Chains A and B, each alone.
Chain A
C-alpha cells in the first residue's frame, strides 16, 4: 500500500521529467502522457482496493524525515482517508480525460510540450496536496499548483491580457499563502508534534479541553479560511476566477472548472476539526458561502460570455459547498464536489458549441427562444422584477451584477493600494537618505541594547521593519529590474539576520535558508545583466520584452532564479522558510507576520519582473536595429478613406 501511495504521488513527477527530457516530438509526449495516466489509474485502483479491503481506515504513512533539529521536524508524511480518496479519484478521472482530449486538441500548437509539462506539474502538486499528511506538505503542493496555474493562465504569453490576468490570479494566490503559511506556523505553535491531519480529530475529542485557547483557534481558523476562500474564489475573491480563463479551453476546464477551484473546499474538509470546533467559525464559513452564492448568482446573470458564465455558476456551487460544510454535511459536500467538477469540466469543454446550440437547436425547436417568440425571455431583468421594483432599484441591481459585486475594487483598495503607496514613497527617497535613516534607526535600537544589556533579540525588531520595507520597495519598483531583484534579496537576507538575532543558535537553519536564496539572487542578477545588455530599460519600462522567444535559455534561468527567490519547493529556501517560521514561533510569535508578508510580496514582485522581461510579442522596437539599406521607402497619404 505504501508503494502504491508513493507511486500515485510520483508518477506525475516521472511524467514531468520524461516530457522535459523528450524533444518536441508530439507523438512521444502523447505516448508518455498516455502511459502515465494509465499507470496512475492502475496504481490508484490498486491503492483504493487495498484501502477499501482494510475497511476504509484513515491511513497514515511517514516516508522519512526530511530535516530534524531540536524540536523541529519536517517529516514527509502521507495520509489517505475518505476525502482524499474521493479527490484522488476525481483528479485521476479528469486528468486522463483531459490528457486524451489535449493530445488532439493541442496538435501542432507551439506550446505543446510546455502545456503537458505544466499539466503534469499541476497534477503532481495536486496529488501532493491531497495525499499530504501535514500542513507543511500541503503547503508545498499548494505552491506547485499556484505556479502551474500562473504558467497556464499566461500560456499565450504573446498577448498582454493573459499575462496580466496571470499576475492577478497569482497575487491572489500569494495573498492566500499568507493564510496558509501563518496557519502552518500556528499549527506548529499550537499542536507541536501533533500537527498530523490524522491526529487532528483526536485532539478535539475531549470537548471540555480544546488543544489551544479559543482565541488562537479562532485566529487559526481565520487564516485557513483566507487560504480556502482565495483558492476557491469565494467571497471576497470571486473576481479572479472568470479572468483566469485565458489558457487553452481544456486547461481552463481542468483548473478552474474542475479541480483547482475545489482545493479550498478540500482544505476546509481536512481541517474541519479546527474550524468546526466553534459555532462562531462555522457561522463565518456559512456566511462566506452565502455571500458568495448571492454575489456570484447575481453576477452570473449578466455575463455575456460563456466562460464567465460557467465560472460564476461554479463559484455559486462552491459557495453552496461552503454552506454544506458549515452545516456539517460532509458526505453531501463530497457528492456535490464530484458532480460540480464533472459538470463544469464538461461545460467548459463544449462551450464553443454555444453558438450552434442557441441558433440551431434552441432556435429550431419550439422553445421560448427570444427571436421566435416576440422577445419574452431576453430582456432587461425578468418580468417579476421589472413589475415590482422601481426603476432606480432595477438599475441598481443591474449595476451590481455588472460590477460583479464590486469585489475587485474593494480588494484592490483594501489590500494592494496601501502597500503600493507605501512602497512608492520609499522608492522616491534618496538612496543615501535611506541608508542614513536605516543606520540611525538601527543605532537607536542598538544603543540601549549595548548600554543596558537588554537581550539582543530586540534588535530583530528594526531589522524586521527594514525587511518589510525592502519588500514593499521591490513591490512598487517599476523602473529597474535590478532594483527589484536586489530589494528582494535584501529583504530575504534581512529575514535571515533577524532570525539569527532572535536565536543565535539557529545559524545552521539560517544558512540553509540563505543557501537557497543567495545563489538564486546572484543567478538572477547575472541573467538580468545578460538579458538587458543591449536594452535601455528605463526608456520603456512597461513594454513586454518577449525574451522567452528571443532568448529562451536565459529566460529559463531567470525563471529558475525566480522560483528560488520565492522559496519554491525545489529550493532549500522552501525548507528554510518553514524553519525560520518555526523559530519565530518558538521565540517571538510577532515575528511570523512580517516575515510572511515579506515572503509573499517578494514573490509577487519577482513574478512581475519575470513577466515584463520574458513575455510579450517581439517587435522591431525590442530587437537590435539593423541595416535597412535595401528598402523601398514610401510616404503615403492615408487620410483619404478608400470607399470600395
Chain B
C-alpha cells in the first residue's frame, strides 16, 4: 500500500513538553500566536505566504498541517484537475513525472492511477479540524451554549472601537490606555452595566491582572492543564482575523496611525471573562468544565504537541502534475529560444518593476520599437525610504517590508493650498450621519442623490470627484532628497540622503540588473501603481515591492539621483561611467487604466531629453495593446480587435463604482526569471512572469544573485503563495467575496457588522488564478548557485521545502536543472512537446479566455 505512516517529530522537544506539562501562559501564547495570520491594517497591504507558520515543513506536509488546524481545503476539487486533463492542460508526461516524484512505491502506482480518475466530489472537503471540531465544540454539542455567537459580537465591538482609526465619532480609549484597563473602566465605573460583565460571579475577577484572570478562567472553564493551550488556540482560531490584528499591533505599534496599547494576553483575558460570564448566565454556577465533558472520538487533540495529518496522495499527484505541465511550458520555451536575434544599439532604455503586470508591457514596447531595451528590478529601485508627500497625512515606507528604512523624504512644492474647508458639498454623504444636520441634509439634498446615483451607475467613467486618480498626482513639486544635517528627526529618521548614500543605492541597483555600460541617451524609470474606486483593498493593487504603495516617489528619487553630477562622479570612481548625454526620466504606469505619467516636467525643461518623444509614442501604442491583452480576461469587456475600444474599457473599469475587478492584478503569476533579457526576449509569456534583470557574467561569487533572491523570493514567492492559498480555499485563507464586505475601523474588512476581520485576498482578485507554485528560473551555473544558496540564510527553507520551485538555467549551455534538498536534478523534457510559435503577440490573443502556454515569437517588428 501507499499507506506510509511516519511519526514525524520534527523537533526534539516533544518529550520535554510531555514531561514538563506545567502550563506556562507566556510560552503558550508564543506557541499559538504563530498560527495567526500576519496581515496588517488594510491601508498597506503586504503580500506574504499565508501559511508562513508551516514554512519549515515540506510544502505538502505544511499544507496538510494547516488544513488540520484551520479546517481548510488543501487542493482544488478532484474534478477540476480531471477537467484540466481532458482539456489538455495537464498532460500524461507531467502525470508520470508527478507520480514518480510522489514517493509512491511502484507496486501501488496502478492503483493510484485508477484513483486519479475515479469520480469523487467530496475528497477535497476540509478535514476534521481544530478550528471547527475541537474541544470547544463541546459547549455547543453538550451544554447547548453557542459561546461564539454570544461572545464574539461583544468582543469584536470592544476591539473594533478600541482600535478604530477614525470611522466612529467617539473613540474608546483615552490617551495611552491599555485595552484591559479600558474595558475595566467601562465595566467598573459606569452606572449602566457592560453586559455581560455585570454577572456577579465574575466581578471579583476584574480587579486582578490579565495573567491571573486567564489562569482563573481556564481553571474554571477547562479544568485540565494539558488542554489549556489547545483551548486558547481554538479560541483564537474562531476569530483569526481579530486575533492576528491584535498580535500585529502588539508587535509593531507603528502599524497604526493612532497608536493603541493592546496585547494578545489582554484580549484573551477579556474573551475568557466574557465566556465565563455567559456560562454563568446560561448554566448557573455549576456547569462542568471542558475536560469533564465527554468528547467525540474524532475530536483532534493537541496533547503533547502532536497532530496526525493525512496527505491525500491522489490530489497531491494531480496538483504536482498541473504545476509541472505549466512549468514545462516555460522551460521548453527557454530551450527553444536559445539563439535570439541580435539587437541594435539601444536608443532608449526603460527600467520597469519586476511585477508580472509589466511583463506584457515590456514585450509590446520591444515589439513596437526594437531599439528600446528594457530591464526589470524590484519596484522600489533600490531606494528605501519613508515618504511623505505634500498631501499625505503621515509618512509611509516605500520599500519591501523586509527592509527597515532609515531615511525620510518629504515632498516640497510651491503651489498654494486650495482652501478646502470641512464639509465639501460633494462629500456630504460621508458626513451626513449625525442627527439634526442629517435631518436637514436628507430633507434638502437627499433627492439630489437619486441623480448622482443614476449618473454613477449609468454613466461610469465620469469619475467620482472625491478620489483623484494616480495620474493626476501633482508633479509640480520636488522631492527633498539631499540631507542637510545629520541630526535625526524626532522619530529617529535621517532627513534625506548624502551623496555617497545616493551613489550606493544607484550603483547597487545598476550592478544588480547588469546595466553598467552601454547607457542609452534616454533611460526611463517606470514605477507602477493602480487606481480604482470603491475598493477598500486598493493597497493590494499597488506595487508589492513598495509595501503596497505606488512606486512613483522611488522612481523620481532614482532619476534625480542618477542625473546628479556629484552622484555620477562617485559612481565613475566605482567603475560605472554614465555618459553626460544620458538622462534619467521618472514615470508612473497606472496598471488599471494603462496610462503613463512622466514626472518632473520642470526638470525636463532644464535638461531636455530629445529621445523621450519617440519613447512616449511607442509607449502610447504599447499601452493600448496591453489594454487589449488584459481585456481578454474580462468577460464583460469588449471582445473586438480594437485597441482603442479596449483602452477605453479599462479606463471605465477603473472608475466604475460597481466594478469589483478594476484589474486582475497578479492573478496570472506563475514564473519568476532572474537573468538577461535575451533569455526571454521573444517569448510570449502571457503576463505570467516576474522578470528581474541580471548579468551572470559579472557575478562570479553569487553575491549579486543572493542579493536579488533575498528580495525576489519573499516578494514574488509571497505574492504567488498568497494567491495560491486564497484561490484554493477562499473562505478560510482568502477574504471571500468582496460583495458583502464592511469596512471596520479602517483596519480591515469583515462580513456584516459583527463579523471577524477577513484576511487574504478577496475572490474577485483570485478567481481566474491557476493555483500553482512559483517557478523561479535563474540564469546562472549550478556551481555559483550553490554558493548563492549558502548565503540565503533563513530564505533557504523556501527552496528546500519546495514552497517555490527553483531551476537553474546554465548561461552558456541552457541546460536546465531542478533544485531539491537532495541536490540538482537535470530536467528532461520529452520531445513530444513543441513550443507553439506565432509571428507577434496580437496573433495569439484573439478568442482566448484562459491562460495561454508560452509561445515563441518569430517576428520582432510590428
Closest to B394 in A: A371
CA distance A483 to B691 in the complex (A): 64
Q: Name B58-88 residues within 8 Å CB distance of A.
A: 61, 64-65, 69, 71
Instruction: Please indicate which of the listed interface residues B308, B443, B635 has the most CB atoms of chain A within 10 Å of its own CB.
Output: B443
A93 touches B432 (CB 8 A): no
Could you say which residues of chain B place their CB within 8 Å of the CB of A620? 122, 125-128
* Partner of B467 from A313, A360, A368, A621 at Cβ < 8 Å: A360
A644 touches B56 (CB 8 A): yes
- The reply to whether the CB of A384 lies closer than 8 angstroms to some CB of chain B is no
Q: 0/1 per residue, A376-415, Cβ < 8 Å to B?
A: 0011111000000001110110111111001001000000
Closest to B233 in A: A638
A109 touches B737 (CB 8 A): yes
A630-B466 contact in complex given A307-B742, A371-B258, A636-B61, C-beta closer than 8 Å: no
A638 touches B307 (CB 8 A): yes
- The reply to whether the CB of A626 lies closer than 8 angstroms to some CB of chain B is yes
Closest to B56 in A: A642
* Partner of A297 from B125, B129, B434 at Cβ < 8 Å: B434
A342 touches B112 (CB 8 A): no
Stretch at the interface among A57-65, A350-358, A568-576: A350-358
B454 touches A245 (CB 8 A): no
CA distance A540 to B144 in the complex (A): 10
A352-B535 contact in complex given A347-B429, A619-B71, A634-B310, C-beta closer than 8 Å: yes
- The reply to whether the CB of B538 lies closer than 8 angstroms to some CB of chain A is yes
Could you say which residues of chain B place their CB within 8 Å of the CB of A109? 737, 739
Closest to B660 in A: A105
Could you say which residues of chain A place their CB within 8 Å of the CB of B740? 155-156, 162, 245-249, 252
* Partner of A104 from B103, B306, B442, B659 at Cβ < 8 Å: B659
CA distance A618 to B731 in the complex (A): 12
Could you say which residues of chain A place their CB within 8 Å of the CB of B430? 347, 354, 357
Question: How near does chain B come to A620, taking the closest CB pair, in angstroms?
Answer: 5
A346-B535 contact in complex given A618-B125, A633-B5, C-beta closer than 8 Å: no
Q: Name B183-210 residues within 8 Å CB distance of A.
A: 185-186, 189-195
* Partner of B14 from A297, A391, A395, A637 at Cβ < 8 Å: A637
B447 touches A380 (CB 8 A): no
A302-B161 contact in complex given A354-B430, A542-B144, C-beta closer than 8 Å: yes
CA distance A59 to B430 in the complex (A): 40
B443 touches A381 (CB 8 A): no
Closest to B448 in A: A342
- The reply to whether the CB of B97 lies closer than 8 angstroms to some CB of chain A is no
Could you say which residues of chain A place their CB within 8 Å of the CB of B821? none
Closest to B742 in A: A307
Q: Name A287-304 residues within 8 Å CB distance of B.
A: 293, 297, 300-304
Indicate the size class of the contact surface on chain B.
35 or more
A637 touches B8 (CB 8 A): yes
B741 touches A301 (CB 8 A): no
A353-B427 contact in complex given A317-B439, A644-B794, C-beta closer than 8 Å: no
Q: 0/1 per residue, B149-177, Cβ < 8 Å to A?
A: 10000000110110011111111111000
Q: 0/1 per residue, B427-467, Cβ < 8 Å to A?
A: 10110111100110111111111101110011000001011
A369 touches B65 (CB 8 A): no
A161-B189 contact in complex given A317-B438, A340-B446, A618-B125, C-beta closer than 8 Å: no
Q: 0/1 per residue, B381-422, Cβ < 8 Å to A?
A: 000000000011110000000000000000000000111111
- The reply to whether the CB of A345 lies closer than 8 angstroms to some CB of chain B is yes
CA distance A507 to B531 in the complex (A): 69
- The reply to whether the CB of B581 lies closer than 8 angstroms to some CB of chain A is no
* Partner of B43 from A162, A355, A357, A400 at Cβ < 8 Å: A355
Question: How near does chain B come to A311, taking the closest CB pair, in angstroms?
Answer: 8
Could you say which residues of chain B place their CB within 8 Å of the CB of A391? 189
CA distance A351 to B741 in the complex (A): 9
- The reply to whether the CB of A320 lies closer than 8 angstroms to some CB of chain B is yes
- The reply to whether the CB of B743 lies closer than 8 angstroms to some CB of chain A is yes
Stretch at the interface among B349-357, B510-518, B621-629, B750-758: B750-758
Question: How near does chain A come to B552, taking the closest CB pair, in angstroms?
Answer: 14
- The reply to whether the CB of B484 lies closer than 8 angstroms to some CB of chain A is no
Could you say which residues of chain A place their CB within 8 Å of the CB of B293? none
Stretch at the interface among A209-217, A230-238, A331-339: A331-339
Question: How near does chain A come to B1, taking the closest CB pair, in angstroms?
Answer: 6
CA distance A310 to B742 in the complex (A): 11
Closest to B453 in A: A346
- The reply to whether the CB of B697 lies closer than 8 angstroms to some CB of chain A is no
Chain B interface mostly helix, strand, loop or mixed?
A: loop
Instruction: Please indicate which of the listed interface residues B6, B127, B305, B752 has the most CB atoms of chain A within 10 Å of its own CB.
Output: B752
Could you say which residues of chain B place their CB within 8 Å of the CB of A302? 161, 168-170, 172
Q: 0/1 per residue, B530-555, Cβ < 8 Å to A?
A: 00011110100000000000000000
* Partner of A636 from B309, B422, B538 at Cβ < 8 Å: B309
Closest to B174 in A: A380
- The reply to whether the CB of A31 lies closer than 8 angstroms to some CB of chain B is no
A313 touches B164 (CB 8 A): no
Question: How near does chain A come to B33, taking the closest CB pair, in angstroms?
Answer: 8
CA distance A303 to B229 in the complex (A): 33
A643 touches B34 (CB 8 A): yes
Stretch at the interface among B311-319, B329-337, B571-579, B678-686: B311-319
CA distance A308 to B157 in the complex (A): 11
- The reply to whether the CB of A54 lies closer than 8 angstroms to some CB of chain B is no
* Partner of A406 from B123, B195, B427, B746 at Cβ < 8 Å: B195
CA distance A235 to B394 in the complex (A): 42
- The reply to whether the CB of B215 lies closer than 8 angstroms to some CB of chain A is no
A542 touches B731 (CB 8 A): no
CA distance A352 to B305 in the complex (A): 42
B308 touches A343 (CB 8 A): no
- The reply to whether the CB of A191 lies closer than 8 angstroms to some CB of chain B is no
B635 touches A108 (CB 8 A): yes
- The reply to whether the CB of A309 lies closer than 8 angstroms to some CB of chain B is yes
- The reply to whether the CB of B140 lies closer than 8 angstroms to some CB of chain A is yes
CA distance A476 to B190 in the complex (A): 36
Instruction: Please indicate which of the listed interface residues A345, A356, A372 has the most CB atoms of chain B within 10 Å of its own CB.
Output: A356
CA distance A478 to B464 in the complex (A): 51
Could you say which residues of chain B place their CB within 8 Å of the CB of A447? none
CA distance A349 to B258 in the complex (A): 27
- The reply to whether the CB of A159 lies closer than 8 angstroms to some CB of chain B is yes
Q: Name B294-310 residues within 8 Å CB distance of A.
A: 296, 298, 302, 304-310
- The reply to whether the CB of B2 lies closer than 8 angstroms to some CB of chain A is yes
Could you say which residues of chain A place their CB within 8 Å of the CB of B419? 366
Could you say which residues of chain B place their CB within 8 Å of the CB of A378? 166, 171, 258
Instruction: Please indicate which of the listed interface residues A245, A382, A628 has the most CB atoms of chain B within 10 Å of its own CB.
Output: A245
- The reply to whether the CB of A438 lies closer than 8 angstroms to some CB of chain B is no
Q: 0/1 per residue, A472-492, Cβ < 8 Å to B?
A: 000000100000000000000
CA distance A109 to B171 in the complex (A): 36
CA distance A351 to B418 in the complex (A): 26
Closest to A354 in B: B743
Q: Name B38-67 residues within 8 Å CB distance of A.
A: 42-43, 52-57, 61, 64-65
B313 touches A634 (CB 8 A): no
Q: List 27 A-B contacts (CB under 8 A).
A: A107-B635, A109-B737, A109-B739, A245-B753, A300-B433, A302-B170, A304-B744, A336-B443, A340-B442, A347-B430, A349-B658, A353-B534, A357-B430, A358-B165, A358-B167, A370-B258, A380-B171, A619-B132, A630-B3, A630-B115, A631-B310, A632-B313, A632-B316, A639-B17, A640-B305, A642-B53, A644-B794
Nearest 6 pairs between A and B by C-beta? Answer: A339-B446, A639-B305, A363-B393, A364-B391, A248-B739, A365-B420
Residues of A near any B CB (own CB < 8 A): 93, 97, 100-102, 104-109, 155-156, 158-162, 164-165, 242-243, 245-250, 252, 293, 297, 300-313, 316-317, 320, 332, 335-336, 338-343, 345-347, 349-361, 363-372, 375, 378-382, 391-393, 395-396, 398-403, 406, 409, 478, 539-542, 617-621, 623-624, 626, 628-644
Known: A104-B658, A352-B535, A367-B422. 6 other contacts (CB 8 A): A108-B764, A159-B751, A248-B740, A305-B743, A349-B657, A638-B307
